[in-house]
Amino acid sequence: MGIGLRLRGARALITGGMGFTGSNLAIGLVNAGSDVTIVDAMIPGYGGNLFNIAPIGSRVTVNFSDVRDVNVMNHLVRGQDFVFHLAGQVDHILSMSDPFPDIDINIKGTAVMMEALRRHNPSAKLIYTGTRGQYGAAVSLPVNEEAATNPKGIYEISNLTAEKIIQVYNDAHGIDAVLLRLTNIYGPRAQMRHPRYGVVNWFVRQAIDGATIKVFGDGKIRRDFLFIDDAVEAILMSAVSPAAVGEVLNVGIDKPTDFIELADTLIEVAGSGRWEFSPFTPERKAQEPGDFYSDISKIHRLAGWAPRTTLRDGLGKTVDFYRAHKAHYWDSDG
């Protein structure tokens, strides 16, 4: 049975649903025939954008609330078949100068959500999107789910803590949960106003603007850059896979790319921009884990997922989207 058949008619709640991954996920769920509710606090700078859901705006329910609001979460989880928990503080740099938003949103917000499910809808399935940063520096490559977790920043620590909280509720309270660790995602509907997260999308903006892309260090650091459509498919396939319940799954791509190749490919695809080497800022150097790419054999085995979009094709789709919709992303939150 395909994803669409398994999701048709299902009720799904997405926290952080106005943001980059959340809005693309909402579009995927609506197209699959799900009844979708989005909750988003629309915190400035985090990427929440009304334009993100323009293709489906009349077919979703939107609640402008905060995941930390106990009463709201108690209400919204009722009757849901799936809860996709994406809301969080996602600014790596901010987390090193002010740890409290991470602790408050990522950790407390997750605890609020899990208590709401325990008390009011324990039969729902919770899908959590963490980060590959939870591993820290790779001891060996590719990195599989058995690797040690040694996060290098507060943001990554808060994601790992949230994952552990969810795992407890899965094990102790029987709330089915799928725990995903996403790699470097890029594509349409991301925030494009600042470079504090989303390195590929920021490179895209610079290329479109004909600006100089700053490639840190020697440019040879390798990453697995994953197109958003593939990431959404991974989330949905994991959500409907019984074998994925209670499991930690990497979501990445098994074809790593260094930053020089990324910049060269992007400039060729966009037909504009240029790049130059730049030294790491102290903040970025402190958090830089070195080469990282994911072993995705487990999610392929349990959920049947594998990425399908090449870097060139993904960058082409991303450039085309932002060139068509610059006014909604360059200087506006929506």
Structure confidence by residue, pLDDT tens digits, 97-108:
899 999 999 999
Structure tokens at 333: 């939150």
Structure tokens at 48: 């929440």
Rounded CA-CA distance 193/30 in Å is 28
| 333 vs 114: which has the higher pLDDT | 114
How many other CB atoms sit within 10 Å of the CB of residue 259?
A: 24
Round the average pLDDT of the chain to a whole number and report it.
Answer: 95
The DSSP bridge partners found for residue 181 are 130, 250
Average pLDDT over residues 303-320: 98
Average pLDDT over residues 278-294: 80
DSSP of 77-123, one letter per residue?
TTT-SEEEE------HHHHHH--HHIIIIIIIHHHHHHHHHHHH-TT
Does the pLDDT of residue 333 top 60, yes or no? no
Q: Are 226 and 182 in contact (CB under 8 A)?
A: yes
Q: Are 170 and 176 in contact (CB under 8 A)?
A: yes
Rounded CA-CA distance 244/171 in Å is 14
Q: What is the pLDDT of residue 290?
A: 87
Is 63 in a helix, a strand, or coil?
strand
CB burial string 124-160: b at 16+ within 10 A, e below? bbbbbbbbbbbbbebeeebbebebebebbbbbbbbbb
Rounded CA-CA distance 310/253 in Å is 10
Average pLDDT over residues 60-68: 98
Rounded CA-CA distance 279/263 in Å is 16
DSSP 143: B
Q: What is the pLDDT of residue 286?
A: 67
Residue matched to tokens 């989880």: 77
Q: Which pLDDT band holds residue 257 (cuts at 50, 70, 90)?
A: very high
Q: Are 272 and 208 in contact (CB under 8 A)?
A: yes
Q: Which fold has domain 3-191+225-253+293-308?
A: Rossmann fold (3.40.50)
Give pLDDT tens digits for 138-187. Answer: 999 999 999 999 998 999 999 999 999 999 999 999 999 999 999 999 99
DSSP 204: H
Cis previous bond, 142, omega within 30: yes
Torsion, Cα 250 256 260 261, to 10 degrees, reads -120
